[in-house]
Structure 1
Amino acid sequence: MDLLEFNSAPTDRLRPELAACCDVPRWVDAILAKRPYADVAALTAVADQALRELDDNEVDRALRAHPRIGDRPQGASTEAAWSRKEQSGVDPESRQALAEGNRQYEDRFGRVFLICATGLSAAQMLNSLKERLTHDDATEAAVVHEELRKIALLRLAKVVTA
């Protein structure tokens, strides 16, 4: 949809679209509360700032909506379609290595490995996963928050076009 439509659409129509970008009600509410936006840059700035303000519980909530890297998300939801496209660089032989890395990551950090996969090859994702396994908890929490921010902003750009 274009910005004019975004600015005028009923809240109940936009809420699921925004939640598909980042499933955190406070983030969705922050974006909706500032409508109308003069341009996409203003919308992006509000969305970005609200993402930077997410607390650990909100990041964890958002992570629950993301599939494991290498898994083929099932279903016809917006999130599943976006995840399939975002992970298009994962070839079948890399899936097993990513699955093992995911298990190690989840054992180490207790959450799904999240990376902004758009434009990355499977090898790049696997290298990042291996590097991130060496992080301490605080460093990794900051990286996860940043990856979530990048994904949400890319998805928002798919919802609202200039």
Structure 2
Amino acid sequence: MTRGPTLPAHRLPYPSGFSGGATIPALPGQTRVPPSSGRLAGFNAATADEAHEALLGCLHSPRWAARLAAHRPYPDLDALLAAADEAAYDLTPAELAEALAGETLPTLPAGTYSAAHTALSAAHAAYEARFGHVFVIHLGGTAPGEALDRTLEGIRSRLTNDPDEERVVTADELRRLARGRLVTHLRGAGNGA
């Protein structure tokens, strides 16, 4: 399968001897942030360009980011998340491809043995060969030690999907990733992937 112009080759973000940590956003049971929250208030008060750039860090879709930035202020995080979901559902196939092209592969926890790197690399390659884009999965709430197993299980099970079914699953995973990243960003814990 040949890659389209919007789908660059994705490299695994870990070289041999990798010693990084997993970045997994955890969606808390309650996402409501009071309107007086400094981070939400700062997001609401930011310039359109600043808000747009921050949102692109959550989902690499210029239209999605512009739409959310244009509809500020949000009274609370739940309202922002609802708007983010609605904007994500409205993305065209080309916009989803653009968002996928901006995604990187998840990192493995420190101390992961080299056979796991090989297995994950092979699974990613098989997925990209079948569907033409990077594999994405939301791992919110997953313990770092279970991230590799969940990722491999996800790739293997989704390889059986037909391309239309996988587009729907992928779009939902991107939406869930964007939600998790928004929550993480506005709670001040860094950017999750």
Alignment TM class, shorter chain as reference:
0.7 to 0.9
| Runs of 4+ more than 3 Å apart | 87-90
Q: 1:4: how far off?
A: 1.1
2:136 paired with 1:110: no
Match of 1:91, as an amino acid?
T
- Distance, in Å, in 1 between the alignment partners of 2:91 and 2:152 is 27
Number of residue pairs matched by the alignment:
146
Comparing 115-124 with 11-20, greater Cα deviation is found at 115-124
Higher helix content, 1 or 2: 1
Task: Look up the match of 1:99.
Answer: 121
Task: Look up the match of 2:72.
Answer: 35
How do residues 3-82 of structure 1 correspond to structure 2 at under 5 angstroms? 3-69=40-106, 72=107
Q: Where in structure 1 are there 5+ consecutive unaligned residues?
A: 73-86
| Aligned-CA RMSD value | 2.0
Task: Look up the match of 2:179.
Answer: 153
Residues 1:153 and 1:88: Cα distance change in structure 2 (over 3 Å): farther
Q: 1:89: how far off?
A: 8.1
In structure 1, the residue corresponding to 2:126 is in which secondary structure?
helix
- Distance, in Å, in 1 between the alignment partners of 2:172 and 2:139 is 13
Q: 1:53: how far off?
A: 1.2
In structure 2, the residue corresponding to 1:21 is in which secondary structure?
coil
Task: Look up the match of 1:126.
Answer: 152
Match of 1:24, as an amino acid?
S
Q: 1:91: how far off?
A: 2.3
Q: Percent identity?
A: 33
- Whose relative contact order is higher, 1 or 2, with alpha carbons under 8 Å and at least 6 apart? 2
Q: Where in structure 2 are there 5+ consecutive unaligned residues?
A: 1-37, 189-193
Task: Provide the TM-score with structure 2 as the length reference.
Answer: 0.70
Q: Deviations over 1:2-40 (max 9, x none)?
A: 111111111122221110101111111111111111111
Higher gyration radius (CA): 2
- Distance, in Å, in 1 between the alignment partners of 2:78 and 2:112 is 35
2:161 paired with 1:139: no
Residues 1:40 and 1:142: Cα distance change in structure 2 (over 3 Å): same
Task: Provide the TM-score with structure 1 as the length reference.
Answer: 0.82
Q: 1:161: how far off?
A: 3.4
